[in-house]
Structure 1
């Protein structure tokens, strides 16, 4: 079996086992299953795997970006790639939340409902735009790496890469060293991914054992509308944009992205999925590493399509429950706030609720309304993350195709980048000119 098949099998078995534990009532607090299996074996293995992925993120982003900038070789080309990526990411996020608000408003979810919740949620104030811009430039790059501040790491890496280009031939040995170190990091990704099927099984078994389906019955309207809009954005909006702007086959794209989507679904973290996304975009989709090493970590930081959709649906849902009429102005504010909040927000589990609290504060909705959706948010967060990383990969393909930095033969080859061909594809990607 290929790694993708093993991962999908692990995901399916994990969901079945987790639901079985939950529905049979075996996961009660203090029980043997809860202590030694759900929070023991499943929890420990799952956390170790996620930590292993996170371990690779900062060095991989740092080395990939520096190597990528040096590989591009032209500072003006780097500027084009950066500006195209930024505009496309903001465009997809704006479309996502506009579609979410429209869909939720048309269905009228939450109207006339009487849902009570004891859950509480403390909000967060929206950071001023000036602070977001200032924090892009790190006062201490080492501290930024330790804290995982992605925009700061991206800025520092690009600046190092540009400086190496400006030094010229004297920096060649250092550039070669960075590229070698980058290859070592990609090999580490391969080693960790070999354990993925077992880790995905444990992550999903624990999630389903703890969550179950009870809350879904109570919040069925919110859950179904949100999932429907997320799937619409993934399978329709992103694929239309991919086809219109690049002419590439959406079916091929979706087939090759399954592995990444399963990882994103399991970890609920765009940042933790960066190593897998980067590997797939380069080796399976044929995007030149110099482009992918910029667009993938950049997208994991500012591209929050799935989170934006959740904010739109949740805003309409809570507004209807509390009988608040936001009006056109309120919804436009939600769209603007969601797009701005996505810039510089960490791609980690649960960040969507923090962003939602900022939106609620801005439009005057009660923050305690977030407590109503806390229970189901964990599983929905998994779906949102799969949508987020798919958007990162789609924009990477569009930008690479527009700059002639994409190997179309690799994109069309269904076997490119599979386990047996990793080294071969890696050599082809580095050696062949873009077509």
Structure 2
């Protein structure tokens, strides 16, 4: 059989082309047919909405089975209770550490730059926000009273806890547990194959999502909060491109440049979906096949990170809190700033990895330091775009933590990490079929 040597576009290139094409088409339609009801009803809310929603649903479809099965596999392989405790302790400590850094940098930047202006405050500002859960409720809700209901509702903290307990039990019932563990390992392979198939839809889904965003995002909303917007973006970029690479180098000695090169696909998925949970299948696949992380580490740290490690959200909450205080002319003391760091760190643990939830948790932080929740109305117009960027930061932090912890646990293949081509073959199902026929 004659095989063409023509180089095919990789997944990253296809996603970038899809993003660019979607933005250009959206802007073209918006400027060519302004306020056109046909475009709005049948293109924006019709075609693009349907394609984008199908893509998001196909990713979310995998989240619950992937998290549960992968965590059971990872936990059941850790027969030593002390090892499980050590792994969990390292993971949570690293996540809380990076979140604290993110918040501190965000608050300092907001205090120095001073993005808020009292002229923006208005007594007519209105914003309807769902009541944020108390810290006590967040802690209580970690334990599921009905695991099946937790799975149907996608309650990730409850699913994670039940999966860890279930996997731990499997590892402690001898031969019968080994049979069950083999079944879950086979099931995990099947789910990862489904992930590979779904990823082929990514360029088309991203195209539709970006086209719809370009058609619906109101550019006029940037006017009054442009300084806030770019400050949040700057801090997010510092966290992703400076803080995380520095922590990776310090704690693992690995190349930050190689890491940033291999994390691009995950960042693009996260940016497009604005959901850490929806991106989770891609994050796990990349960590294992591109980074060289052992499955028993990736299947534990990444689902946990998608649930409790929200550094990007914490950065938004830190800057937004200072911004709103400045707008309303309210002076915050050092104690208030410390309270913001503590509350926002804990709030990020209770923030679901889905679009838009950060604003709900921001209300909790504002209430804690006595700031008016109505100030959220000032930033809601640009929050959708910021949500996309901070989700990319969140998944980057999850993956850095996973690589660092895997290296410390001796469950890391450095050869795979240093190989720029590692894992690429697993990304193209068509290529695997074609190679099998040669």
TM-score of the two chains, using structure 1 as the length reference:
0.93
- 1:218 paired residue among 213, 224, 243: 224
Question: Once structures 1 and 2 are overlaid, which stretch shifts more, 120-129 or 207-216?
Answer: 120-129
Q: Is the 8 A contact 2:302 2:398 kept in 1?
A: yes
Aligned pair count? 422
Q: Which residue of 2 aligns with 1:383?
A: 389
1:361-372 map, 5 Å: 361-372=367-378
Q: Is the 8 A contact 1:117 1:372 kept in 2?
A: no
Aligned position for 1:18:
26
Over 3 Å counting, the alpha-carbon distance change for 1:256 and 1:118 in structure 2 is farther
Quote the offset at 1:362 in angstroms. Answer: 1.2
Q: After TM superposition, list the pairs within 5 Å mapping 1:284-303 onto structure 2.
A: 284-303=290-309
Structure 1 residues 77 and 173: alpha-carbon distance in aligned structure 2, compared to 1, 3 A threshold: same
1:172 Cα deviation (Å)? 2.0
Cα distance in 2 for partners of 1:60, 1:367 equals 37
Per the TM alignment, residue 359 of structure 1 is displaced from its structure 2 partner at its CA by 0.9
What is the aligned partner in structure 2 of residue 429 from structure 1? Answer: none
SS in structure 1 opposite 2:133? Answer: coil
Match of 1:197 among 175, 200, 203: 203
- 2:53 is equivalent to residue 55 of structure 1: no
Q: 1:191 to 1:31 in 2, by over 3 A?
A: same
Query: 1:311-350 to 2 correspondence within 5 Å?
Result: 311-350=317-356
What are the residue-to-residue correspondences of 1:28-427 with 2, within 5 Å? Answer: 28=35, 31-114=37-120, 120-419=126-425
1:12-32 CA distance string (max 9 Å, x none)? 22222223333x16352x611
Describe the superposition over 1:209-254 as per-residue Cα deviations: whole angstroms up to 9, x where unpaired. 1114222233211111110011011100111111111111111111
Question: What residue ranges of structure 2 are gaps of 5+ in the alignment?
Answer: 1-8, 433-438
Q: Secondary structure at the match of 1:136?
A: coil
Provide the residue aligned with 2:4 in structure 1. Answer: none
Q: Which moved more, 1:277-286 or 1:30-39?
A: 30-39
Q: 1:362 to 1:54 in 2, by over 3 A?
A: same
**In 1: Cα distance, 2:427 partner to 2:397 partner:** 26
Quick one: distance in 2 between partners of 1:149 and 1:39?
29
8 Å CA contact 1:27, 1:34 repeated in 2:
no
Shift of 1:125: 4.5
Tell me if the contact between 2:79 and 2:172 (Cα under 8 Å) persists in the aligned partners: no
CA RMSD in angstroms, aligned pairs only: 1.8
